[in-house]
Amino acid sequence: MDYSTIETQNQISALLLNMTQVPFVTPKFGENWLRDFLGWVERYRLLEPSVNISTEAQFIDTLRNEYQIDSKLAALDIKFNSDYTKILATRYIIQGGEIQSELDSTNMVLGLRKVAKEAPNMEVHVFNPWFGYIDNYIQVGGLALKLVSLAGVVVFVVTLVFIPHLVIAFCVFFSIASVEAGVLGFMSFWGVRLDFISVLGLIMGIGFSVDFAAHVSYAFVASNAPTVEQKLRTAMHAIAWPVIQAGLSTIIALAALLIVPAYVFLTMFKIIFLVIVLALIHALILLPIVFSLLGQSITSNEPRRNSCKNVEKSNSNGMTNIGFQK
């Protein structure tokens, strides 16, 4: 760019003005070599009226010889070509302020990049060494959705293989999706931010949540009881207490993470705790309600696993016990 033209100078001034209007950018501080140089020229003309920067050669000559940019700190902001006849690139420093959280930093970076992208007739880049860390927070939302969705699809396919009933497998998938959505919601109330640590916990949570829902669903499908109510009674009698024990034992084991006051351990405990509690609620309350609402439509022509033989017997209370025998 030819920095000697009024058009270029106005474009750069407008660009920097737009950037200072981005949230969390303060106009009070910053470094602008072009503004300082043009101000110096106006003052210098009071002593030397003949000074002229109307051409690119005169602009660079005055900048290097009269203003002596090479001896100033601002020399780091200008990149000349090898014979000092062209300015190849320049740098301007702006200052952020009143940033309280990663979300504030993210909004600032996205705002600056938008202004830089929309700058007319200029190739503009915004950079700070910390932007690499901020990019993690910018990308983590889409990455979390992609990974959790992919894991959910895999779980749905595997569930369909071991419980070959499309409606039941979809109910298990719905339960997992509902648990993950609930965990995301409660994370905000519990002060857990969405980052790579919490995303790892969410992916692990899919394994915990599918375990409970799959056991209840399989016990329901495997029961030979003629009605939905009897199948639910059979499944809950056989599975409910073991599922509760599994959830409680997991929470007790995870309680050891509370001893170390580190963000990673506390975050993992909070997420897995939420997953276990919500997964138990879904497996023992929500899924039975869904099965009862679906009624006989999910009991007709039910497939049976070839590797297991269902053995049922009634106890003295009229409760049906279910066992699996090779």
Residue at token pair 């992208």: 117
Q: Are residues 126 and 144 in the same domain?
A: no
Residue 206's pLDDT is: 86
* Amino acid (one-letter) located at 293: L
Residue at token pair 């009024």: 6
Q: Is 19 in contact with 30 (CB distance < 8 Å)?
A: no
Q: What does the buried/exposed string (b/e) look like for 87-99 if buried means 16 or more CB atoms within 10 Å of the residue's CB?
A: beeeebebebeee
Whether residue 1 is contained in a domain is answered as no
pLDDT greater than 60 at residue 109: yes
Of residues 208 and 8, more confidence is placed in 8
What's the average model confidence in pLDDT over 127-142? Answer: 84
pLDDT band at 299 (very low <50, low <70, confident <90, very high): low
* Size (the chain), residues: 326
Whether residue 298 is contained in a domain is answered as yes
pLDDT band at 5 (very low <50, low <70, confident <90, very high): very high
Full residue range of the structural domain in which residue 146 is found = 136-325
Of the three residues 131, 152, 167, the one that is the final residue of a domain is: 131
Of the three residues 66, 96, 131, the one that is the final residue of a domain is: 131
Residue 301's pLDDT is: 44
Of the three residues 105, 131, 157, the one that is the final residue of a domain is: 131
User: Which of 28, 58, 57 has its CA nearest to residue 41?
Assistant: 58
* N-terminal to C-terminal alpha carbon distance within the chain: 80
How far apart CA 61 and CA 127 sit, in angstroms, is 29
Taking the CB of residue 187, how many other CB atoms lie within 10 A of it? 19
pLDDT greater than 60 at residue 312: no
Q: Are residues 103 and 211 in the same domain?
A: no
Residues 6+ apart with CB under 8 A from 21: none
Residue 298's pLDDT is: 66
Q: Are residues 176 and 191 in the same domain?
A: yes
Whether residue 247 is contained in a domain is answered as yes
pLDDT greater than 50 at residue 257: yes
Q: Which of 20-24, 159-163, 267-271, 312-316 has the lowest mean pLDDT?
A: 312-316
- What residues form DSSP beta bridges with 31? 93
What's the average model confidence in pLDDT over 137-162? Answer: 85
CA distance readout (Å), 120 to 10, 77, 86, 115, 273: 12, 21, 21, 10, 51
Give the Cα-Cα-Cα angle 163, 164, 167 (nearest 5 degrees): 90
What's the average model confidence in pLDDT over 137-166? Answer: 85
Taking the CB of residue 317, how many other CB atoms lie within 10 A of it? 7
Q: Are residues 144 and 108 in the same domain?
A: no
Q: Is 155 in contact with 204 (CB distance < 8 Å)?
A: no
Q: Are residues 164 and 120 in the same domain?
A: no
CATH of the domain at 312: 1.20.1640.10
Q: Are residues 12 and 36 in the same domain?
A: yes
* Amino acid (one-letter) located at 34: L
Q: Are residues 184 and 62 in the same domain?
A: no
Residue 296's pLDDT is: 66
pLDDT greater than 90 at residue 112: yes
3-state SS track over the chain: CCCCCHHHHHHHHHHHHHHHCCCCEEEEEEECHHHHHHHHHHHHCCCCCCCCCCCHHHHHHHHHHHCCHHHCHHHHHEEECCCCCCEEEECCEEEECCCCCHHHHHHHHHHHHHHHHCCCCCCCCCCCCCHHHHHHHHHHHHHHHHHHHHHHHHHHHHHHHHCCCHHHHHHHHHHHHHHHHHHHHHHHHCCCCCCHHHHHHHHHHHHHHHHHHHHHHHHHHHCCCCCHHHHHHHHHHHHHHHHHHHHHHHHHHHHHHHHCCCHHHHHHHHHHHHHHHHHHHHHHHHHHHHHHHHHHHHCCCCCCCCCCEEEEEECCCCCEEEEEEC
- 68 φ/ψ sector (left φ>0, alpha ψ -120 to 50, else beta): left
Q: Are residues 167 and 229 in the same domain?
A: yes
Q: Are residues 45 and 120 in the same domain?
A: yes
Q: Are residues 178 and 279 in the same domain?
A: yes
What's the average model confidence in pLDDT over 60-89? Answer: 91
pLDDT greater than 50 at residue 306: no
Q: Are residues 189 and 318 in the same domain?
A: yes
Burial of 19 (0-12, 13-18, 19+ CB in 10 A): buried
Q: Which of 50-64, 78-92, 131-145 has the lowest mean pLDDT?
A: 131-145
Number of structural domains, the chain?
2
Residue 159's pLDDT is: 84
Taking the CB of residue 211, how many other CB atoms lie within 10 A of it? 16
Whether residue 212 is contained in a domain is answered as yes
pLDDT tens digits, 182-224: 998 898 888 888 888 888 888 888 888 888 888 888 888 888 8
Q: Are residues 13 and 61 in the same domain?
A: yes
